Amino acid sequence: MSAYWIAFNTILVKEIRRFLRIWQQTLLPPAITMTLYFIIFGNLIGERIGEMAGLDYMSFIVPGLIMMSVINNAYSNVSSSFFSNKFQRSVEELLVAPVPNWVILWGFVFGGVARGIMTGLIVTLVAVFFTDIQVHNIWVLISTVLLSSILFSLGGFINALYANKFDDVSIIPTFVLTPLSYLGGVFFSISLLPDFWKDVSAFNPILYMVNAFRYGMLGVSDVSLVSCYAILVSIILILTAYSLWLLKRGKGIRH
Amino acid sequence: MNLENYQGPALSIRGLEKVYDNGFRALNGIDLTVQQGDFFALLGPNGAGKSTTLGIVSGLVNKSAGTVEVYGQNTEADWFHSKRLLGVVPQEFNFNQFEKVGDIVVTQAGYYGLTAAQAKPRAEKYLKALDLWEKRDVQSRMLSGGMKRRLMIARALVHEPKLLILDEPTAGVDIELRLSMWEYLKKLNEQEGTTIILTTHYLEEAESLCRNIAIINKGNIVKQTSKRDLLSELRVQTFVVELIEAKPERPLIADHRCQWVDDQTFEVDVEQGKGINELFDAFDKLGLNVAGIRPKSNRLETLFVDLVRNG
């Protein structure tokens, strides 16, 4: 078996073991938060809203809420874990070992993917208690979750490389991810927006992820599927190249 | 990678330079060679460049210029093979405080390409050798300082490197643990043939363990030689003599610099090349009954201070 594959597996297993060890902080909160979203937005407010894009409101928001969990947890897992490795200097275990930068990167990224998928499944399970879960296209569902969690895991990795203190890894989720998620079509169809704001929304990558996932579940989307995949893949390629460049320079991890 | 026929040095550094982003020049083109099987000390005051040198060799610090080879493998061109040959024990604790002891060692083995089936027996071997096997399921943050030091050694050895680098391995460690770590390192060097390089502020440690020494100061190697040759540069050695009975008159020893500490203890210098037998003749003539005699300070310490002050 290739040494690189073993090293990749080692990093991945360590990352999964980490978030399972602290499941009360990593897996439980999304279940509780999303339950509250389903009750308040789905049931209480949703009954007054009625339909959105031809669907009952609860069915409309389920895909967006699942994706929001996937995105936030994939990002947070990598940003907090890698920064914690930096802070405790345990990242040096990897730097002295014969592990190439791309293995380090993908080990942590897929740790984020694992947590993103796991929380997505947990939120889906919670959603079962509120509405019927539909599957319009399973391959779109799987590919969207995978690509979205990879993208945001890469974002979390870059955040962690630049971060110098713990506050630095909570700024992006609080001031960037949350607003983009809320404005990314999770709770409303962008067809409701005036044209100007509709055009502005086109620059929000989360819009494409939410809509692709909504298409996979319900067969409806505000944007074309081709655009969704093009944007996801392009951003992943850019972030991958940038991450590897930062690692080669030793940004945040080496002198 | 077949090293059976390799006859060259374990570590070869040529023209190594390091200038940090803030402009500080830590290394000025140093050359250093450590032979296979050696037990080598790299000494120097704080800020001399020891940790920078070891950091570059181990891949934690990017170099500005120069080449580094570990068992003939260039650390840039052949980084994969050179890193596999190297084990690093840093000065500061650098493991995840919430991971268990056993997991830390097995995980490190995984980074070196060892499967779980290969890693677990090795982890057991080294944790037992370093008296940590009973703590294998304990989170590392619950260990004492000495245990944490031993854990770092076990972690560095799990992939059985040919070259082991230790940065101040016994800093802050009690005497009993220091002696047991010395014994273990000596055994590793003599029986397993592991080349060992250590940095230390305890010159007694370098003098006890090492066969060859380099002294670095302000980014330059000021001396690299065998311990024997280095100690032979000592022109004078001071001995502390303790008497059975006090001598209030405090007589002086002819032809030797002598200084009384109290009525029962004095220090006397012996020049390079002169034995101490004539001292005992002098003691007899003066009626001094000697209870004990010992070197005043670590010999290497005297030389080191001289070299660093004048470097």
Same domain, B256 and B284: yes
Judgement on whether residues B255 and B173 belong to the same structural domain of the protein: no
Q: Are residues B296 and B193 in the same domain?
A: no
Domain-embedded: residue B2: no
Do B181 and B50 share a domain, yes or no? yes
**pTM for the whole structure:** 0.86
Residue A159 belongs to some domain of the structure: yes
Q: Which chain B residue has the Cα nearest residue A94? A: B111
Judge whether B11 and B163 are in contact, CB under 8 Å. yes
Q: Is residue B256 part of a domain?
A: yes
Q: Which pLDDT score, from 0 to 100, does residue B302 have?
A: 66
* Residues B111, A93: C-beta atoms closer than 8 Å: yes
Q: Tell me, yes or no, whether B269 lies in a domain.
A: yes
DSSP B209-276: H-SEEEEEETTEEEEEEEHHHHHTT--EEEEEEEESS--TT-PPPTTS-EEEEETTEEEEEEETT--S
CATH of the domain at B280: 3.30.70.1560
Q: How far is B52 from chain A (nearest CA, A)?
A: 9
Least confident of A13-17, A223-227, B1-5, B98-102: B1-5
Q: Which of A2, A14, A90 sits opposite B94 (nearest CB)?
A: A90
What is the per-residue pLDDT across A2-31, written as a single tens digit (0 to 9) for each? 999 999 999 999 999 999 999 999 999 999
On whether residue B124 sits in a domain, the answer given is: yes
State the nearest Cα–Cα gap between A145 and chain B, in angstroms.
28
- The count of domains in chain A is 1
Q: Looking at the structure, do residues B108 and B187 belong to the same domain, yes or no?
A: yes
d(CA A95, CA A79): 18
**What is the per-residue pLDDT for B295?**
81
pLDDT tens digits for range B12-51: 999 999 999 889 999 999 999 999 999 999 988 888 899 9
Best A1, A4, A6, A20 residue to mutate vs chain B (most B CBs within 10 Å): A6
Q: Which residue has the higher pLDDT, B236 or B141?
A: B141
In a domain, A132, yes or no: yes
Residue A8's domain comprises: 3-249
Nearest beta carbon to residue B94 from set A2, A92, A250:
A92
**Same domain for B171 and B128:** yes
By Cβ distance, the residue of B60, B81, B110 closest to A6 is B110
Q: Could you tell me if residue B6 is inside a domain?
A: no
Q: Looking at the domain assignment, is residue B302 inside a domain?
A: yes
Same domain, B167 and B68: yes
Q: Does A178 reside within a domain?
A: yes
B190 and B114 in a single domain? The answer is yes
Average pLDDT in the B268-293 region?
Answer: 85
Residue-averaged pLDDT of chain B: 89
Contact A7 B110 (CB under 8 A): yes
Q: Cβ B60–A93 below 8 Å, yes or no?
A: no
pLDDT (mean) for B117-145 = 95
Q: Are residues B223 and B252 located together in one domain of the fold?
A: no
Contact B55 A99 (CB under 8 A): no
Least confident segment among A98-102, A177-181, B85-89, B153-157:
A177-181
pLDDT at B110: 96
Sign for the CA dihedral angle at A49, A193, A223, A153 comes to: negative
Q: What is the pLDDT of residue B311?
A: 56
Q: How far apart are CA B146 and CA B166, in angstroms?
A: 15
Whether B5 is covered by a domain: the verdict is no
Domain boundary among B231, B251, B286: B231
Of A152 and A198, the structure prediction assigns the larger pLDDT to A152
Average pLDDT, integer, range A207-235: 92
Please check whether residues B203 and B292 belong to one and the same domain: no
Q: Which two tokens stand for residue B301?
A: 């310490």
The whole-angstrom distance between B38's CA and the closest CA on chain A is: 22
A112-140 pLDDT, tens digit each:
999 999 999 999 999 999 988 889 999 99
- pLDDT > 70 in chain B, percent: 94
Chains A & B: contacts with CB separation below 8 Å: 85
Instruction: Establish if A29 belongs to a structural domain.
Output: yes
Place of tokens 């000494």: B43
Return the pLDDT at B297: 62
β B39-43/B65-70 pair status? unpaired
pLDDT band at B234 (very low <50, low <70, confident <90, very high): low
Q: Are residues B174 and B120 part of one domain?
A: yes
Cα angle for residues B151, B157, B158 (degrees, 5° grid)? 90
| Same domain, yes or no: B100 and B130 | yes
In percent, the amount of chain A with pLDDT more than 90 equals 70
Within 8 A of A98 by CB-CB distance, chain B residues are: 79-81, 83-84, 111-113
Contact between B132 and B171 under an 8 Å Cβ cutoff? The reply is no
Q: Which domain holds residue B167?
A: 11-231
Q: Which residues 6+ apart lie within 8 Å of B282 measured at CB?
A: B253, B254, B256
Interface of chain A against chain B, CB under 8 Å? 1-4, 6-7, 9-11, 13-14, 17-18, 21, 84-85, 88-90, 92-100, 250, 254-255
Cβ atoms within 10 Å of A166's Cβ, excluding its own: 11
CB contact under 8 A, A98 and B112: yes
d(CA A85, CA A253) in angstroms, rounded, equals 10
The verdict on residue A228 lying in a domain is: yes
Q: Which of B205, B231, B257 is the last residue of a domain?
A: B231
**How does DSSP assign B50-109, residue by residue?**
HHHHHHHHHTSS--SEEEEEETTEETTTTHHHHHHTEEEE-SS--S-TTSBHHHHHHHHH
Q: What is the pLDDT of residues B194-211, one digit of tens each?
A: 999 999 877 778 888 999
* CA–centroid distance for A37 within its chain: 18
Mean pLDDT confidence for A186-213: 88
3-state secondary structure of A135: coil
> Distance (Å) from the C-alpha of residue A229 to the closest C-alpha of chain B?
34
Nearest by Cα to B81 from B89, B70, B92, B91:
B70
| pLDDT mean across residues, chain A | 92
Total structural domains within chain B: 2
Nearest to A10 by CA among B219, B123, B186: B123
Q: Where is mean pLDDT largest: A108-117, A209-218, B237-246, B270-279?
A: A108-117
**In a domain? residue A254:** no
Q: What is the mean pLDDT of residues B287-306?
A: 77
Confidence of residue B258 (pLDDT cuts 50, 70, 90): confident
Domain end point (choices B231, B260, B278): B231
A255 inside domain? no
